[in-house]
Structure 1
Amino acid sequence: MKEAAKVLLPQEKEPRLIFFAGKGGVGKTSLSSVTAVYLAREDYKTLLLTTDPASHLEDVFEQEVKGEVTKVDGVDNLDIVKIDPKEVAEEYKENVLADAQEKNYSEEMLMGLKEELDSPCTEEMASFNKFIDYTEADEYEVIVFDTAPTGHTLRLLELPMNWEQQLEFKTSINTNTQADLESQKRFKRVIDKLQDKEQTTFAFVVYPETTPILEAHRAVEELETVDVETQLVIANQILPKEYCTTPYFKKRSKMQDEQLEVMEEKFSAPIIKMPLLAEEIQGLETLLEAGKELYTAKKTKLLNIEEE
């Protein structure tokens, strides 16, 4: 038995970034919430952050989730925040235009810059800048990300890798300002962090069904093209065998078993199973129950996935 691979725990001084990704509706919000609560109760200072406009974190925690960091009621060591793409885009535009005015851009240059800022990629760039702000904060040991559906998440994570192709206002001066150089260094730092398995964990949440499996597999392969490795796959809503006594549920359980075998073939990362609970994951009591189901089984002792 090799040494346990610590895929979710922070290493020394560096915070652990944990991304929950996957097809829309597979349970990313629920499982990222379960993980954040579990880690906070294990005495890790944790931030749960959502970049998904459709996230239902407010329903899960039964409290308002704002654009500013707030404490989670009833859970020590856990804060929560959401990145609203439209809100941060407006803030981003104001900062970029203010910087341009300080640099004495001409009226024509400012008009061109405003046109660039009206492009759809501005929201993604603004969200990523805000995301970097949190990753560079040193007050948390773990930051758990509840991400938007797969395609949006991949674009967000690939932004720094394609920095030279992103929003740049070309001037006649062919030199980089100090601010430009600092931005490049900042992006380089986050690229290094995303590609470092000791600092970042990508976990895909998957229903044991054909379409979610195929979409997650494609996303895993795309992340590999930018040297980002998937370290964990969670098979969600597995039917407990003891309740599969009718012909219908026996058939559904058999289908899940077959799809789990497909997952074993397609994913090299460890796969852990989250059983279907009798109740929706909502409120602290069910979050704690789900955490026990997901992270206290023998093969996930203290979140260390054992390797054969």
Structure 2
Amino acid sequence: MPALPFLDDLPRFLFFTGKGGVGKTSLACATAVQLAGQGRRILLTSTDPASNVGQVFGVTVGNTITPVPTVPGLDALEIDPQQAADAYRATIIDPVRDLLPADEVSAMTEQLSGACTTEIASFNEFTSLLADESATAAYDHVLFDTAPTGHTVRLLRLPGEWTSYLSDGKGDVSCLGPVAGLDRLRHDYAGALAALPDPTRTRLVLVTRPQPSSLREAATTYGELRDLGMTNAHLVVNGLMPEYAVTSTPMDELAHAVRSREEAALAAVPAAVAALPRAVLPLLPFNTVGVPALRSLLEPDVASRQTPIAEIATLPTGFTGLPHLVDQLEADGPGLVMCMGKGGVGKTTVAAAVALELASRGHEVLLTTTDPAAHLDETLLADVPHLTVERIDPRAAIEGYRERVMAGKGKDLDEAGRAVLAEDLKSPCTDEVAVFQQFSHVVFRARKQFVVLDTAPTGHTLLLLDATGSYHREITRQMSEGAHFVTPLMRLQDPTRTKVLVVTLPETTPVLEAEELQDDLARAGITPWAWVVNGSLTAAAPRSPFLRARARAEADALGQISTLCRRVAVLPLLAHEPVGVAALSELTRPAANPFLPTSRSHP
């Protein structure tokens, strides 16, 4: 059995956090099962908009505490972001609906319609569990299966930031609603702020994969949360390929390459988390769905992990390779190609590969990103003819945005008014909006050339789209009837000008998150043009019995994807990292794979 120091001397609250797809939900559920099996009362709470806790246990879990019948002593709760947002808006707007003019009520509703408000509404329910002792008095431990890292850091920062903001605010309207109406939240936020850094009450479990990017993300997250005082942290490396999976198939290059990459990653764990107590959990040959599978995650038995030789899994009918997508992009001519998805699914790789192939065919291509953590230069490792690489700098955009607002809206305000405006511009919800003008410029450049945009992880991108929608509605109101105009949102909604590629992994959680993204885009009037499934073992056609079993475990996720989009490209899991021009070019060349149709070849 692996050593599990994160379960020793448990405090009351445990937070499981990490990038999407690293196994946070599986580990949180497995921990809940083990603790409940020891006779403890457990409340498992998900703050992830794409939560699949209910699916793991085979029970419907919603926004009310629900017993898990197969695990005595375990209750579960999934905070529904949309339901929480609806209720939150009602608490702000309903008391003043009959007291204010209709246009002011409409303005408030607009202000409270974005993804930022949804985050805050969910967070209010989360803080109540930390601050209200009576709400969790029946439980020995409360486990939080959090949203992917970026959202978690954002939310955990809010108690401190909004406690300060509520103390200094003067009653203006923010994306949270009238500041004067938020004072009632001060007690819960202060309670959460007291609980989070207390090591006797709270432990942070950083879940990662044995991959450099995932480990770097864990280190970054820990650094940011440590600044909040959360020092009681443990590292759990999930999904290490077991040694027997390699030794049993000496001729499988992919199995050996994956194991070697993972060992190298563990030998170079970032210094920020290297000294943390660590547990390493093996990759299992099956999905961790159901109580027996969850128990095996923390109590792996070698015999149960041995699998017979599996037949080669096959991809759903109609799936294709990335070369086919590039052919179709080229045929439609210049436009915007947006790679969207959660962090860690390979958006940067897909964006770089598509841009590189279009440039190699002689087209002028701009490759850019809105992701502050993206490193396009490190992915390409070379200058390429016809390819320009840029980056939208969020820090510079935010600073410029604040300066423009202060110089414009704040010009005629008195000193007290300018102070209120400056404070409002420091709110935790304005940063992504500040990137909007640079983003709009990129959108319009796509009129005359191919622009491939590697977006920030989903939550940040949706905030940006919220700003795009607000801008569109404002322009529409201001323009005279019959006037011709084209806003950035109109370009994003036009499939002849914008192709959205939803990038995901062939695993349950990433697919659920991608489906949630597609639903959010639909509400903005945007339809994804294609899905790209990255890192598929099915497409890699491995020889290893263990990897073939893992490939079969992709079947449900791939089947679900086939129902969500009619155009799907699959990239195989590679024996080498797709870094550098040569490696990236392989992704857009005819694949030596029996399951993917080949595309025409280009010099």
> Take 2:278 and 2:100, find their aligned partners in 1: how far apart are those partners?
56
Kindly provide the amino acid, as one letter, of the partner of residue 212 in structure 1. S
Q: Which residue of 2 aligns with 1:188?
A: 190
Q: Tell me whether 45-54 or 254-263 shows the greater mean CA deviation.
A: 254-263
Measured against aligned partners, the alpha-carbon deviations of 1:176-219 in whole angstroms (never above 9, x if no partner) come to: 98x86552222111111011111111111111111111111111
Q: Which residue of 2 aligns with 1:63?
A: 59
Alpha-carbon offset, residue 91 of structure 1 = 0.5
SS in 1 for 2:269: helix
SS in 2 for 1:130: helix
Q: Which residue of 2 aligns with 1:306?
A: none
Matched, 1:285 2:303: no
Does 1 or 2 have the higher relative contact order (CA < 8 Å, sep 6+)? 1
> Take 1:60 and 1:77, find their aligned partners in 2: how far apart are those partners?
17
> Quick check: 2:239–2:281 contact (8 Å CA) kept in 1?
yes
Q: Which residue of 1 aligns with 2:47?
A: 51
1:126 to 114, 118, 121: 121
Distance 1:288 1:270, change over 3 A: same
Distance 1:105 1:139, change over 3 A: farther
Tell me the TM-score normalised to structure 2 length.
Answer: 0.43
> Quick check: 1:10–1:141 contact (8 Å CA) kept in 2?
no
1:256 to 259, 262, 272: 262
Distance 1:145 1:204, change over 3 A: same
Distance 1:99 1:192, change over 3 A: farther
> Quick check: 2:215–2:270 contact (8 Å CA) kept in 1?
no
Distance 1:119 1:283, change over 3 A: closer
SS in 2 for 1:263: coil
> Take 1:127 and 1:69, find their aligned partners in 2: how far apart are those partners?
15
> Quick check: 1:89–1:126 contact (8 Å CA) kept in 2?
yes
Matched, 1:237 2:244: no
Q: Which residue of 1 aligns with 2:144?
A: 145
Kindly provide the amino acid, as one letter, of the partner of residue 33 in structure 2. V
Kindly provide the amino acid, as one letter, of the partner of residue 123 in structure 2. F
Q: Which residue of 1 aligns with 2:394?
A: none
SS in 1 for 2:256: helix
> Take 1:35 and 1:168, find their aligned partners in 2: how far apart are those partners?
45
Kindly provide the amino acid, as one letter, of the partner of residue 276 in structure 2. A
> Take 2:43 and 2:158, find their aligned partners in 1: how far apart are those partners?
22
> Quick check: 1:195–1:229 contact (8 Å CA) kept in 2?
yes
> Take 1:273 and 1:99, find their aligned partners in 2: how far apart are those partners?
52
Distance 1:7 1:30, change over 3 A: closer
Question: How does 1:163-174 map onto structure 2 within 5 Å?
Answer: 163=162, 164-165=164-165, 169-170=171-172
> Take 1:168 and 1:128, find their aligned partners in 2: how far apart are those partners?
23
Alpha-carbon offset, residue 85 of structure 1 = 0.8
> Take 2:170 and 2:293, find their aligned partners in 1: how far apart are those partners?
47
Q: Which residue of 2 aligns with 1:157?
A: 156
Aligned length: 280
> Quick check: 2:219–2:270 contact (8 Å CA) kept in 1?
no
1:19 to 15, 18, 23: 15
Q: Which residue of 2 aligns with 1:299?
A: none
Q: Which residue of 2 aligns with 1:200?
A: 202
SS in 1 for 2:44: strand
> Take 1:26 and 1:6, find their aligned partners in 2: how far apart are those partners?
17
Kindly provide the amino acid, as one letter, of the partner of residue 236 in structure 1. N
Tell me the TM-score normalised to structure 1 length.
Answer: 0.81
1:275 to 282, 306, 309: 282
> Quick check: 1:7–1:231 contact (8 Å CA) kept in 2?
no
Structure 1: gaps (5+ residues): 295-308
> Quick check: 2:128–2:188 contact (8 Å CA) kept in 1?
no
Structure 2: gaps (5+ residues): 174-178, 302-603
SS in 2 for 1:86: helix
SS in 2 for 1:36: helix
> Take 1:243 and 1:52, find their aligned partners in 2: how far apart are those partners?
32
Distance 1:66 1:181, change over 3 A: closer
Measured against aligned partners, the alpha-carbon deviations of 1:116-162 in whole angstroms (never above 9, x if no partner) come to: 32343211111011112223222222111111111111111111121
> Take 1:189 and 1:114, find their aligned partners in 2: how far apart are those partners?
29
Matched, 1:34 2:30: yes
Q: Tell me whether 130-139 or 84-93 shows the greater mean CA deviation.
A: 130-139
Distance 1:206 1:144, change over 3 A: same
Identity %: 30
Distance 1:251 1:111, change over 3 A: closer
Distance 1:106 1:75, change over 3 A: same
Question: How does 1:62-141 map onto structure 2 within 5 Å?
Answer: 62-100=58-96, 106-107=100-101, 110=105, 113-135=108-130, 136=132, 137=135, 138-141=137-140
Distance 1:285 1:192, change over 3 A: same
RMSD: 2.8
> Quick check: 1:50–1:145 contact (8 Å CA) kept in 2?
yes
Alpha-carbon offset, residue 8 of structure 1 = 5.8
> Take 2:53 and 2:237, find their aligned partners in 1: how far apart are those partners?
21
> Quick check: 1:203–1:231 contact (8 Å CA) kept in 2?
yes
Q: Which residue of 1 aligns with 2:221?
A: 219
SS in 1 for 2:233: strand
